[in-house]
Structure 1
Amino acid sequence: MANNAPGFLVSVIIAITAQFLSEHYGAPAMLMALLLGIAFHFLAEEGRCVPGIAFTSRTVLRIGVALLGTRISVELLVGLGPSLIALVVLGVIFTILFALLAAKMLGRGWRIALLTGGSVAICGASAAMAIAAVLPKNEHSERNLIFTVLSVTVLSTVAMIAYPLITQTLQLDELQTGVFLGGTIHDVAQVVGAGFSVSEQTGETATLVKLIRVTMLAPVVLVFSLVIRSFADDAANDGGKRPPLIPFFVLMFLLLAAINSFGLIPAIMQTALSDLSRWALLISIAAVGMKTSLKTILDVGGHAIILIVAETIFIAGFILFGIKWLAG
């Protein structure tokens, strides 16, 4: 553990700096942590920080994803009603299927399709890191993860500004606006920002819908893991490594969600664990940033940018169509 301390502490310092910049200048904390991490890439190449950076980008990441389960409960699902829940769930499923189809048409692999499609469909950077943890590794894995986190964070920030204006133009009511914002914007923080910029009711609805999308994280990662295992021989031939049957952090996510559903987590502890989850993800994304050079991100290519933008447009169109259909 002592070997991991220098790299972990550097990641913590970068995360704290990113949070300071976010609070004082309004920039997304995840984006700041990622960019600052990339600036310190040299620390991940050699020296005392290398093992700690690897530990933080892997183990601390899984802890952060597992603790997201404390934000989920069955009560959330009951609050919206079956029609809107079905719309949100179908939005997640069809966006991932669209990503696989679009990636094939653009000549990109299934790994980046699942990574970008899952992050757009579920919860942005957090989903990208969780999905990356179960995908078989190859030489492009870290580059694709950094690209995805960077892209969904930027797109979320753009959506936070643009989507409230779109809902106003389309004359959606507060409930419909909340469902649209929560069902389409990638990251939780930007959903909250966009929703409460419209009204209190819109903000609460948007946050609720977003958390239902977050609930899909564990099932989706589990399905990905099981499907990948069934094609493990192909993955191995492709330079990948056989993933575990059910990742431990997914089990912990489900366990914490179940405990929270029974009301066994006091409110003060739930808040503390939720904050711990956010900090763990922020610290780990700083470490992931340090492991990746800017040049490798630029190597990802224009097709990957087209892919993730197309996925973003698809889920926005799907949810908007669903809202209009349910209203009709």
Structure 2
Amino acid sequence: MSASTAPATSQPLLAAQTPRTPSLWPGLALAGALAAVAIWLSRYPWFQSHGLSALTLAIVLGMVVGNTVYPRIAAQAHTGVGFAKSTLLRAGIVLYGLRLTFTDIAQVGWPGVLIDVLMLGSTFVGAYWVGTRLFKMDRQTVLLIGAGSSVCGAAAVLATEPVVKARAEQVAVAVATVVVFGTLAMFLWPTLYALATQSGWLQMDAHQYGIFVGSTVHEVAQVVVAGASEGEAAANAAVIAKMVRVMMLAPLLIALSWWLAAPSAGAGSTTSGEPSRVVIPWFAVGFIAVTAFNTIVPLPAHWIVVGRWVDDALLATAMASLGLTTHLQLIRKAGAKPLLLAAMLFGWLLGGGLLVNVAVHWLMG
């Protein structure tokens, strides 16, 4: 064989040996279909009355399919599923800013803002200390549970996952704790409030109760249900306090990224002993930018509706993708410690949250 003919014969052989990259579409179609079903189910009154949002339903559906049918088609779908868990998730967090404006802060006043800051900070720091020092849990799971409990439930868990570089089963465990204890809080808070006010030992009006709910209950959907149980004034205060708390997600993620990259003991260092590189989560910055834009520019109402619909679809698709890649046996291996940690945080959100709310309102009038 001559030198001139060698390249012509070797190129087809090399091409034949090069594996084809799976298409995005099978995985995206599967995750998107599960998300669509979850969004559809979330509009039914039964699911709404139980605080089951589209995100919660999407991960449940994803886990059902992921532990039955998905392993047979994973080779064709994994690329699209991975794209949904990463890129679509980040885009969804950015668009989440369409739900907020900086003027929301004025509606709960400085007492509401201070309460949100105190509850977020104490819950997150407490989660890390108890989880890593007392329970000796892995840091990723602890940070995810802390974010979900202190900020905004499943959406916060999803947003924190890229920063802490968690595995799918760690995210699923954290989301499960949010669902369990957030649902319990949704029904327990109104019951205890009614008993305490009727007995006369708690002096808290509907507006103050709403701030208490918004500063302590996990998911936005759960806040809506718990706040609405005491009327429109409580519901409005609860949602606004919750939205202010959600707004704090971006600075929390940026601060967390800096802390994880610090060369201090227990923080982020690579296996070679060198300090980790600071990675500013661009989607957190985008979230702040969209919130600022939504505050400054009066967008048409139908634009906001469409934007929020797209955001719901993106986040639900990301959550369904997470469920598809979550294996139940890996969750079982996590043991009882994540639930115990979440239970302790639940107790703090109820008891400590009540004390913080009463004290701040008393001090600030």
Q: Do structure 1's residue 318 and structure 2's residue 352 form an aligned pair?
A: yes
Segments of 5+ residues of structure 2 without an aligned counterpart are 1-20, 198-203
Q: Which whole-Å CA distance do the structure 1 matches of 2:263 and 2:138 have between them?
A: 15
Q: Do structure 1's residue 39 and structure 2's residue 39 form an aligned pair?
A: no
Give 1:22's aligned residue: 42
1:189-228 matched pairs, under 5 angstroms: 189-228=221-260
Instruction: Find the residue that maps to 1:133 and give its secondary structure.
Output: helix
* 1:255, distance to aligned residue in structure 2 (A): 0.8
Name which one, 1 or 2, has greater alpha-carbon Rg: 2
Classify 1:67/1:15 alpha carbon distance in 2 versus 1 (closer, same or farther; 3 Å).
same
* 1:235, distance to aligned residue in structure 2 (A): 4.1
Give 1:13's aligned residue: 33
Give the letter aligned to residue 97 of structure 1.
V
1:1-328 matched pairs, under 5 angstroms: 3-24=23-44, 25-26=46-47, 28=52, 29-41=54-66, 42-43=69-70, 46-103=74-131, 104-137=133-166, 141-171=167-197, 172-231=204-263, 234-237=268-271, 245-328=279-362
Alignment check: 8 A CA contact 1:134 1:243 kept: no
Alignment check: 8 A CA contact 2:262 2:268 kept: no
Instruction: Find the residue that maps to 1:245 and give its secondary structure.
Output: coil
Give the letter aligned to residue 13 of structure 1.
A
Instruction: Find the residue that maps to 2:165 and give its secondary structure.
Output: coil
Deviations along 1:280-316, one digit per CA (max 9) or x if unpaired, are 1111100000011111111111111100111122122
Deviations along 1:137-177, one digit per CA (max 9) or x if unpaired, are 4xxx2211001112202222222111111111221320121
Instruction: Find the residue that maps to 2:326 and give its secondary structure.
Output: coil
Classify 1:48/1:238 alpha carbon distance in 2 versus 1 (closer, same or farther; 3 Å).
farther
* 1:20, distance to aligned residue in structure 2 (A): 2.8
Alignment check: 8 A CA contact 2:98 2:304 kept: yes
Identity %: 26
When the two chains are superposed, the root-mean-square deviation of aligned CA atoms in Å is: 2.2
* 1:15, distance to aligned residue in structure 2 (A): 1.3
Give the alignment's TM-score, normalised by structure 2: 0.83
Classify 1:22/1:72 alpha carbon distance in 2 versus 1 (closer, same or farther; 3 Å).
closer
Give the letter aligned to residue 106 of structure 1.
F
Q: Which whole-Å CA distance do the structure 1 matches of 2:329 and 2:22 have between them?
A: 31
Q: Which whole-Å CA distance do the structure 2 matches of 1:285 and 1:238 have between them?
A: 34
Instruction: Find the residue that maps to 2:164 and give its secondary structure.
Output: coil
Instruction: Find the residue that maps to 1:170 and give its secondary structure.
Output: helix
Classify 1:231/1:37 alpha carbon distance in 2 versus 1 (closer, same or farther; 3 Å).
farther
Q: Which whole-Å CA distance do the structure 1 matches of 2:281 and 2:321 have between them?
A: 21
Q: Which whole-Å CA distance do the structure 1 matches of 2:305 and 2:179 have between them?
A: 24
* 1:244, distance to aligned residue in structure 2 (A): 5.6
> Bigger shift: 127-136 or 207-216?
127-136
Alignment check: 8 A CA contact 1:218 1:250 kept: yes
Segments of 5+ residues of structure 1 without an aligned counterpart are none
Classify 1:305/1:280 alpha carbon distance in 2 versus 1 (closer, same or farther; 3 Å).
same
Classify 1:66/1:122 alpha carbon distance in 2 versus 1 (closer, same or farther; 3 Å).
same
Q: Which whole-Å CA distance do the structure 2 matches of 1:111 and 1:192 have between them?
A: 29
> Bigger shift: 106-115 or 51-60?
106-115
Deviations along 1:10-48, one digit per CA (max 9) or x if unpaired, are 111111222233333416132221121112225257321
Deviations along 1:38-60, one digit per CA (max 9) or x if unpaired, are 12225257321111111111111
Q: Which whole-Å CA distance do the structure 1 matches of 2:84 and 2:277 have between them?
A: 19
Q: Which whole-Å CA distance do the structure 2 matches of 1:39 and 1:243 have between them?
A: 37
Q: Which whole-Å CA distance do the structure 1 matches of 2:295 and 2:80 have between them?
A: 35
Give the alignment's TM-score, normalised by structure 1: 0.92
Instruction: Find the residue that maps to 1:236 and give its secondary structure.
Output: coil
Give the letter aligned to residue 111 of structure 2.
S
* 1:275, distance to aligned residue in structure 2 (A): 2.4
> Bigger shift: 316-325 or 212-221?
316-325
